Amino acid sequence: MAVSYKELGLVNTREMFAKAVKGGYAIPAFNFNTMEQMQAIVQAAVKQKSPVIMQVSKGARNYANGTILRYMAQGAVEYAKELGCANPQIVLHLDHGDSFELCKDCIDNGFSSVMIDGSALPYEDNIALTKKVVEYAHQHDVTVEAELGVLAGVEDEVQAEESHYTKPEEVIDFATRTGCDSLAISIGTSHGAYKFKPEQCTRDPKTGKLVPPPLAFDVLHAIEKKLPGFPIVLHGSSSVPQDEVDTINAHGGKLPDAVGIPEEQLREASKSAVCKINIDSDSRLAMTAAIRKYFDEHPEHFDPRQYLKPARENMQKMYEHKIV
């Protein structure tokens, strides 16, 4: 039997994006796969009195089970109330949906927002698929994120060798013909903890750390001019904090030359029509860093609560920092 997100106490993105674009800020969209991530996201959002988007990839559904994730999102709403938030503004969003059937399944099972990622398809096919998802989603008051332009990088479910920036000249036609509610664009971000090859970066002479090239703000501004006030989404926006990478490497990890998007650039982008910033890798790094450190320092411990507690605390700190 179908379940509406409204019964679960969730909200769609329409109102929160309108406020974010007007207010010149962005709402973080955190991927989650585990209970500890969910708890940390809710604690951070309540503490910062912020709306939040909790997103689930196809891989997360395969890992944790779609039904369980949906109940976790419902649990997130109830947990936020328990923590003192009278009216939680929490979105359950499908990240990188790759078919109409997957989007429909999520809409029928309590998601308040879905992404249909047709960015790897030819332009007209992307439009046709996105439009089909929008028509179904809007019948259920579910909002739809679409994507135009291709991000570089490799993730389990998302693969692209090269980035192709979004073409500003296509966005009006795309948004109008699909009816999508927000648009993910490509301006140089990419998924994962290795967003740039070392040869694309310079090196800080003092620290030896990689300094990435700037995002294509000219492309972002050209898109904004074409679609004033239209909600824009940035994927692949983890900052890959160097202290987390250093902790991981100091405790047996091997993440050489991991590099992300500098926070100043994300802050700059969020003053524009960018109103959703996707973060997954930073949560993975925060969790892994805390667990590696804990294992190194407490080789005699084996109760998962002992090492998942600091992992959860470290993620919460990171989420809070992102929300500010």
Catalytic positions, written as ranges: 95
Among 59, 212, 214, 253, binds ligand G3H (CB under 6 A): 59
Start-end of H helices in 35-84: 35-47, 58-64, 66-82
> CA-CA distances (angstroms) from residue 69 to 35, 93, 140, 243, 245?
9, 11, 20, 30, 28
Q: Does residue 49 sit in helix, strand or coil?
A: coil
* Nearest alpha carbon to residue 264 among 211, 305, 303, 219: 211
* Residues 6 or more apart whose Cβ sits within 8 Å of residue 242: 209
Contacts of 99 by beta carbon, 8 Å cutoff, 6+ apart = none
Provide, rounded to whole angstroms, the least separation between the CB of residue 260 and ligand 13P.
7
Told to check if 155 binds ligand G3H by CB under 6 A, we report yes
* Shortest Å, Cβ 231 to ligand 13P: 15
C-alpha to C-alpha distance for 206 and 8, rounded to whole angstroms: 51
Write each residue from 253 to 292 as x if it is in contact with ligand 13P (CB under 6 A), else as -, in one continuous string.
-------------------------xxxxx----------
Question: Residue 237 touches which of ligand 13P, ligand G3H, Zn ion, none (CB < 5 to 8 A by kind)?
Answer: ligand 13P
According to CB under 5 A, which one of 58, 61, 235, 284 is a site residue for Zn ion?
A: 235
Angle, helices 281-297 vs 304-323, to 10°: value is 140
- Given the complex with Zn ion, which of 89 and 278 has the nearer CB atom? 278
Footprint (CB under 6 A) of ligand G3H, residues 276-295: 280
Give the per-residue contact string, 207-236, with ligand 13P (x = CB under 6 A; - = no).
----------------------------xx
Interface contacts to ligand G3H, rule CB under 6 A: 31, 57, 59-60, 95-96, 155-158, 191, 280
